[in-house]
Structure 1
Amino acid sequence: MVQVIQAQNVTLAYLKEKFALYKSEDEQFFTEWFDYRPKISELEKQSLDRVKNNYLNVLENAPLLEEAVKLVVLSPLLDLAGFYRHPFYIATEESVEISEQAIIDNELSAEETKEVIKGKIDVLVLQDRLWLLIIESKRSSFSLAKAIPQALTYMLANPHPENAAYSLVMNGEDFQFMKLIKQEQPMYALSDRFTLYRRENELYKVLNILKQIGQVVS
């Protein structure tokens, strides 16, 4: 018997139970988000200032839907990070399927149930055979807390467990990075959360981290 679960309905508790996923508290596990070496130029800062202003101006009329978030915020970020150029390439709406088998016992027999999680990744940045970034870009009124389990599910489906997977979840105004390593037991960690509602333009930090991750994997 197959039970299909939509990725957007998966919880952290489910991932911990079914895949033994756990969160690392070791600061050295995910240094890429704060120990970044690339520096952004003044021209890039000007571009990011425009991105921030464009987003806040558009948001005055109504909450942005997901496609608008991609257009106004995500696309310029990927461009400035160099992810549209070799050796990276972009895939969108990639279908993902991951399964875990469970044995359900009853009084008469043991019935094998296969739980299959299905979903589609918004944007996947690839470098050769390495999954680099799984980007979940939700509407502006969407909480990042709801997107994190979904992104982790996609990261668990990485067909190359020998490599670390990174992801960015965002809703246009808030941004958070994740790192996951599968190997013996899947382990993940989160960055701090960045927002456009601080005086400083935190897109500078977001772009620095994107560039750092790009350097790490390439």
Structure 2
Amino acid sequence: MNIKTKFFTYHCFNSDNTYTLDARNLSLEDVQRLLKFEEQLNGSITSLLCLESLTDFEQQELSQIRNLFRSYYAAGKISEGQIKFLFLAPLMKLAGFYHFNIKITLEENIADISVEDEDTNIKGRMDILAVSKTQERIVTTPFWILVIESKNSSFNALEGLPQLLTYAYKSLENQTSVWGVTTNGMDYQFVYLQQGNPPIYQLLPKLDITRSESSIELLQVFKSICQL
């Protein structure tokens, strides 16, 4: 079954005889085929980022976030909204993303992606996007710093990867690389996307907020990306 047949049951033809696909319904195989992404595995986060030690204050705040997650997780499934509000927002604030030079947007529609040889358009809406607001960039083409896709705690964090890749794809038309992370609140899968023919995405080691050393590295990664 090809991609057109697969999605015809719930996506109709537009007047220009192209299919419109929802990014939420794409598999990783679909994304790799339609957008030509090539996957690479990278076992070392420090090959791409310089990680700085955390201050005592940052470690205390991180410990509170970690303990809060444990308490919610023990009580049952954690929703996407709770993950964004209770865990992602504090982590991003602690990492420095709440700064006047950075704009955070929520539930942002992506520009339509046209796949010409498939007569296909892809639409979607990303969960969280951090964009640089430096004067020279905001007037012309915003520079994407970090794209975040969240799932509720019952999902594997990697299930958000097809959406994340789709949402970040358009940014590579205007910048050489962009960072992304997909999470279920517990596990954080960072992805480094690069321009190229084909475009490449590197999967970094997964980080777990419930483990002390892993959560420290998680905040270090957020901080390093914020400072790029």
What TM-score do the two structures reach when normalised by structure 1? 0.85
Query: Residue 93 of structure 1 aligns with which residue?
Result: 107
Q: Which ranges in structure 1 are unaligned for 5 or more consecutive residues? A: 103-112
Q: Report the 3-state secondary structure (helix = DSSP H, G, I; strand = E; otherwise coil) of the residue aligned with 1:90.
A: strand
- Letter of the 2:174 counterpart: P
Question: Could you tell me how far 1:78 is from its partner in structure 2?
Answer: 0.7
Corresponding residue to 1:181 among 194, 199, 207: 194
Tell me how far 1:80 sits from its aligned partner: 0.6
The yes-or-no answer on 1:41 pairing with 2:55 is yes
Secondary structure at the counterpart of residue 126 of structure 2: strand
Change (3 A) 1:30 1:179: farther
CA distance in 1, matches of 2:190, 2:147: 10
Partner residue of 1:7 out of 4, 23, 26: 23
TM-superposition CA deviations, 1:24-77 (whole Å, max 9, x none): 357799823xx4232211110110110011111122222011100111110101
Q: Which runs of 5+ in 2 are unaligned?
A: 1-16, 134-141
Work out whether 1:123 is the aligned partner of 2:123.
no
Q: Is the 8 A contact 2:39 2:200 kept in 1?
A: yes
Match in the other structure for 2:174: 161
**Conservation of the 8 A alpha-carbon contact between 1:30 and 1:179:** no
- Equivalences, count: 203
Using the TM superposition, give the Cα deviation of residue 143 of structure 1 relative to its aligned residue in structure 2, in angstroms.
1.2
Q: Distance in 2 between matches of 1:25 and 1:56?
A: 29
1:2, distance to aligned residue in structure 2 (A): 2.0
Q: Counterpart in 1 of 2:216?
A: 204
Q: Distance in 2 between matches of 1:47 and 1:203?
A: 11
Partner of 2:89: 75
Is the deviation greater in 157-166 or in 70-79? 157-166
More strand by share: 1
TM-score (norm 2): 0.82
Contact kept? 1:49, 1:201, Cα under 8 Å: no
Give the % identical residues. 27
- 2:47 corresponds, among 24, 31, 34, to 31
Whether the 8 Å CA contact 1:163–1:181 is kept in 2: the answer is: yes
**Between Structure 1 and Structure 2, which shows a larger proportion of helix residues?**
2
SS at match of 2:89: helix
Change (3 A) 1:197 1:52: closer
> Structure 2: how far apart are the matches of 1:99 and 1:29?
32
Query: Paired residue for 2:76?
Result: 62
